[in-house]
Amino acid sequence: MMTKDPMISIRKLYKVFGPTPSEMMQHVLHGLGKEELLDQHGHVLGLQDINVDMQEGETTVVMGLSGSGKSTLIRHVNRLIDPTAGEVLIQGENILDANADALRGIRRTQMSMVFQHFALLPHKTVLDNVALAPIVRGDAPETYKKDALHWLERVGLSGYEAHYPHQLSGGMQQRVGIARALTSNAPIMLMDEAFSALDPLIRTDMQDLLLELQKELHKTIVFISHDLDEALKLADHLVILKDGKVVQQDEPQRILLQPEDDYIVDFIADINRARVLKVRSIMEPIKLDSFVGQVDQEDTLEDVIAMTGGDTSGTYQVLSNGQPVGQLDLKTLMRALVRTQASASKRVI
């Protein structure tokens, strides 16, 4: 998994808000915490010591409650916010070294962004909004029009190109926002709470749309969310932020099974584990010769329980693309459904 270089790599990133942030860095490096810094110096420690690698073609979800610094973090990736210290590497190049022109170039070709409240231009038609990136680049209309219409169709909005944003519903406006990001053809897509302002049903639709698009496009997606269900659904790599610090980052399945911190335990307490956990996360190496049945490694535990009809005994063979890769004892499955405690060493008492 670590064979290729990460697409986006964030190294030792700190952000201090206040009148003299660089002077405050000294205090922070000497171990002053968020609250002490606010009390003693009146500065807000937005992010501290963030180290995250985001792999090409993967969806990295940054999750945290409000005030955890997740929106601040995503704005460092395209430098809408400059860090106080640290590096942000895009394909190995530190974008903090880029001058204004180079930075504009990166924003125009390397990354696109989807916003929580859509941020469409109200005085432009849907088509002109979708084609924002090529228009900003200065392309001629005939070169981008086809592309823009194609993406508009992919998000299910063909026929709306001449409408204005205010004539569309919230969900449709965000589809325009996604089409706008896709039309830029940039490999990186930043999504800042992109679905948080939508109704639950529409939100699920949009998540499915994103998963479907991602299956064929393989963009590097950075997705910000405060919703754990959404995070678990979309993430290849899940980063959990609290008070500007990374609490745990890993594959979502592993976070569920091995939470490192009581904060995470509380966080995942209300999750329907059967629906989220997959067979591959809890299977064991093949030891037996005969099995009562077969399951796919991408099946959720809920699928397996449904298949067994409630029978909690027996061992199943786990297949991946038709090849056996492991076995699943239903007792293991039952144990996995119980809430996990934080590993003893990391528990806060």
Binding letters toward another protein, positions 213-252, x by CB under 8 A: ----------------------------------------
Q: At closest approach, how far in Å is the CB of 67 from another protein?
A: 18
Integer CA distances (angstroms), 232 to 140, 223, 314, 329, in order: 41, 11, 29, 24
116, 196, 300, 308: which one contacts another protein (CB under 8 A)?
116
Q: At closest approach, how far in Å is the CB of 185 from another protein?
A: 12
Which ranges in the chain belong to alpha helices (H)? 21-29, 34-41, 70-77, 100-109, 126-130, 132-137, 141-154, 170-183, 200-217, 228-234, 252-257, 262-268, 273-276, 279-282, 301-308, 330-336
SS3 155: coil
For tokens 């004539």, what's the residue? 167
Considering the rule CB under 8 A, would residue 17 count as an interface residue with another protein? no
Q: At closest approach, how far in Å is the CB of 138 from another protein?
A: 9
Which residues have CB under 8 Å from 119's CB, separation 6+? 177
Residue closest to 296 by CA, chosen among 266, 336, 328? 328
Distance, CA of 76 to CA of 81 (rounded, Å)? 5
Nearer to another protein, 14 or 118 (CB): 118
38, 89, 119, 257: which one contacts another protein (CB under 8 A)?
119
Q: At closest approach, how far in Å is the CB of 146 from another protein?
A: 20
Which residues have CB under 8 Å from 169's CB, separation 6+? none
Which residues have CB under 8 Å from 346's CB, separation 6+? 260, 261
Q: Which stretch binds another protein (CB under 8 A): 50-58, 162-170, 255-263, 280-288?
A: 162-170
Q: At closest approach, how far in Å is the CB of 343 from another protein?
A: 39
* Ranges within 169-188 binding another protein (CB under 8 A): 184
Q: At closest approach, how far in Å is the CB of 119 from another protein?
A: 4
Q: At closest approach, how far in Å is the CB of 190 from another protein?
A: 7
Nearer to another protein, 11 or 79 (CB): 79
19, 92, 122, 309: which one contacts another protein (CB under 8 A)?
122
Q: Total residues at the site for another protein (CB under 8 A)? A: 27
Nearer to another protein, 176 or 255 (CB): 176
* Ranges within 47-106 binding another protein (CB under 8 A): 78, 80, 104-106
Chain centroid, CA 40 distance in Å: 35
Considering the rule CB under 8 A, would residue 136 count as an interface residue with another protein? yes
11, 27, 137, 145: which one contacts another protein (CB under 8 A)?
137
**What does the buried/exposed string (b/e) look like for 48-81 if buried means 16 or more CB atoms within 10 Å of the residue's CB?**
bebebbbbeebbbbbbbeeebbbbbbbbbbbbeb
Phi-psi group of 257: left, alpha or beta (phi > 0 → left; psi -120 to 50 → alpha; rest → beta): alpha
Considering the rule CB under 8 A, would residue 132 count as an interface residue with another protein? yes
Q: What are phi and psi of 339, to 5 degrees?
A: -60, 135
Considering the rule CB under 8 A, would residue 148 count as an interface residue with another protein? no
Residues that bind another protein (CB under 8 A): 78, 80, 104-108, 111-113, 115-117, 119-123, 132-133, 136-137, 164-166, 184, 190
